[in-house]
Amino acid sequence: MTTFDIAIAVLYVVVVLMSLNFANQTQLVAIGAGCMGLTLLSFLLSHGLELPAESIGRCFVSLAATGITTFLAFRVKAAIGILEDSEQRYRSIFLATGVGILQMDFSGLKTAIDKYKTEGVQSIEDIENLDSGFVRKALRSIKLINANNTALNMFNMPDIDRLGTLLPALVSSEVERKVWNFLASIWAGNHSYEAETVIRTSQGRQLIFLYNVAVPPDRPTLDMVLISIMDVTARREAENELDVARSQLAHVTRIATLGELTVSIAHELNQPLAAVVTNGGAGLRWLRRDVPDLKKVESSIEGMVADATRASEVIKHLRGLSVKSSPNSVNVNLNEVAGETVALLQREIDVNQVTSRFDLADHLPEIHGDRVQLQQVVLNLILNAIQAMAHAPGGRRELLVKSFSEEAAVVLRIQDTGPGIPPEVRDRLFDPFYTTKPDGMGMGLSICRSILTAHGGSINATSEPGAGTTFEVTIPFIKEVG
């Protein structure tokens, strides 16, 4: 219909491309097919039944261009649809997930750090020495871009703008040390960082957050950083309550164990008290002589002091085991703990005709822990060994207490020659409330394991029926500096 001797119909590709803005995939195919039909119609109207070769070539070019464009537009539309679905899915996850997510812009912080690096500063510690207020500057340079509903609810904020304004102020001066650690990770170019921190909300409520910082490797300017945060306040409070309950249960178990040892304790106290009375009577007799023998009197009084000190030490150890107190971590020598415990159980050892042997390592490294709790562990293990051998008919009754160090830990081994532990019992040995004793509580070994786990250590048992049992306690020792 024009005087131009060119393939005008090829311009239908523009129609197809423009339809990308409003048509779906089905409509795109229909529009492309329509354009190709119009191309054929215009060819027939222009040339009728005559089929000149040049016109056929131009018609073919127009049809091919329109068809190829339609096909490519179809593929692009499909890709756009997938991308939109993905973005919608991500947005739904971003907004509705139970984990708070903050999208941050760290480019200002990255610029400040890069400036220090170009000035020759070697580490984040050097920045701390040069500018102690850098933490606050860093927090103010970070911009909040987006936040999901969970994050807004965590901080009790009405909108993103309000949260972005108050976020730097929510980080108190008490947790600035942790911010320096985070800045050190950014300085090192790490792509992820995880830590736990305490933040106060605008209402003054203290929250414990576990947060993870994810830096996309393809964003070197740090203009998009995702921080996922989880409120673990309730979990930490529950853990603290569990620790208190565990401590109370351990105290009850200690008292119950001491109740079992009432006769032995009375004997341990009666011996030095009887010796005090004997030495006191002897001293009086030496004084009442016509010529008092002062040397003998002095010897009697020294014996009284020694025996009274011995009784006092027994009471001191008993008081330490019976008093309910919070865990107190100090440097402890496990050899001393074992020696004190065996002394407290000496009568049980004698009455049950047990031969005790010690193989304690010289210069055993100290461990860091609660002395009373560790004494409770050793007390339970030795008492179990004595009772196991007491119920074994005949045979030798030997108790071996051995200590040594290996790698970065101290090991205390308590071995008996009792009847051993059957395999079906061994698997449940440390389960709470499981016991083979008719009057047992089933908490002794379970509490031992809890105490040792809290000290970073472990306990394991090896036994063969008829060949005795060995308990091995492992606790990391204090590494010397320098």
Above 80 in pLDDT, residue 254? Answer: no
What confidence score (pLDDT) does residue 218 get?
Answer: 80
Check residue 261 and give its pLDDT.
58
Report residue 226: phi and psi, to 5°. Answer: -105, 130
Q: What is the mean pLDDT of residues 320-336?
A: 71
How large is the average pLDDT for residues 413-425? Answer: 82
Q: What is the pLDDT of residue 48?
A: 66
Residue 112: which pLDDT band, with cuts at 50, 70 and 90?
confident
Angle, CA 179 vertex, CA 176 and CA 183 arms, to 5°: 140
3-class state of residue 147 by DSSP: strand
According to the model, what pLDDT value does residue 95 have?
A: 64
Q: Return the pLDDT at 482.
A: 39
Q: Report the pLDDT averaged over residues 381-386.
A: 85
CB 403 within 8 A of CB 359: yes
**pLDDT grade for 258, boundaries at 50, 70 and 90:** low
Mean model confidence pLDDT for the chain: 78
Closest CA to 133 of 96, 78, 180, 89: 180
Residue 259 binned pLDDT confidence (cut-offs 50, 70, 90): low
Query: What local confidence, expressed as pLDDT, does residue 303 receive?
Result: 78
Q: Which range (138-142, 228-232, 391-395, 443-447) has the least confidence?
A: 391-395
For residue 406, pLDDT beyond 70: yes
Higher pLDDT, 6 or 369: 369
Residue 320: its pLDDT value, please?
A: 58
Which backbone phi and psi does 245 adopt, to 5 degrees? -65, -40
pLDDT of residue 250: 61
Give the model's confidence band at 328: pLDDT under 50 very low, under 70 low, under 90 confident, else very high: low
DSSP character at residue 175: G
With a cut of 60, say whether residue 465 has pLDDT above it: yes
Q: Which residue has the higher pLDDT, 78 or 173?
A: 78
Strand partners, 146: 103
Which tens digits make up the pLDDT trace of 140-171? 888 888 888 888 887 788 888 888 888 777 77
pLDDT at 370: 80
Residues 344-378: pLDDT tens digits? 777 778 878 888 888 888 888 888 888 878 887 88
User: In the structure encoding, which two tokens stand for residue 211, read together?
Assistant: 């947060």
Model confidence at 211: pLDDT above 70: yes
Q: Are 189 and 117 in contact (CB under 8 A)?
A: no
The mean pLDDT of 277-301, rounded to a whole number, is 80
Confidence band of 313 (pLDDT split at 50, 70, 90): low
Percent of the chain's residues with pLDDT above 70? 78
Residue range 239-260: average pLDDT? 64
Per-residue pLDDT at 301 exceeds 70: yes
How many CA atoms lie less than 13 Å away from 117 in the CB half-sphere? 11
